Amino acid sequence: MSPSATPGAAGELRGAGLRVTAARVALLETVRHGDHLGIEAITLAVRDRVGHISLQAVYEALHALTAAGLIRRIEPAGGAPRFEGRVGDNHHHVVCQSCGVVADVDCAVGEAPCLTASDDHGFSIHEAEVVYWGLCPACSTARSS
């Protein structure tokens, strides 16, 4: 892959102090363009672009990119981890209890209001996440018909 094909992702990796590899560029773009993808879906998409990459290498790259703040890991209770490219805005998620589909939910009021806990127990809080559980439109339609 020519570096000029993806100046954005490569530049961001470099800016975050990460080594730029074709796999990491593919992974960052896959997560950004995807919609809360799980590890298997990410692995398949990355293999599609750069050829064989081990699951272990995918895990390591996901970890490095998450630690660098380029992607965000979400882990609905009892579900497999998902990754997304929307970072730094403290948004929430709605999760379907039937099929597991995930969608973004903006904070209901103002600027990240959920960061102001009623009792912070002395912690310095930098992120809060609400998970709304329910049924997606497709699943509720399937149940009621």
- 76: helix, coil or strand? coil
By beta-carbon proximity to Zn ion, the closer residue of 75 and 120 is 75
Q: Would you tell me which residues interact with Zn ion (CB under 5 A)? A: 84, 96, 98-99, 101, 104, 136, 139
8 A C-beta contact, residue 71 and residue 31: yes
The distance of closest approach from Cβ of residue 30 to Zn ion in the complex, given in angstroms and rounded to an integer, is 15
By beta-carbon proximity to Zn ion, the closer residue of 44 and 105 is 105
User: Which two three-digit tokens encode residue 12?
Assistant: 């961001």
The distance of closest approach from Cβ of residue 37 to Zn ion in the complex, given in angstroms and rounded to an integer, is 11
By beta-carbon proximity to Zn ion, the closer residue of 55 and 99 is 99
How big is the CA angle at 112 (ends 76 and 60), to the nearest 5 degrees?
A: 45
Residue ranges in 51-112 assigned as alpha helix (H) = 55-67
Which DSSP state fits 1? -
By beta-carbon proximity to Zn ion, the closer residue of 22 and 139 is 139
The distance of closest approach from Cβ of residue 98 to Zn ion in the complex, given in angstroms and rounded to an integer, is 4
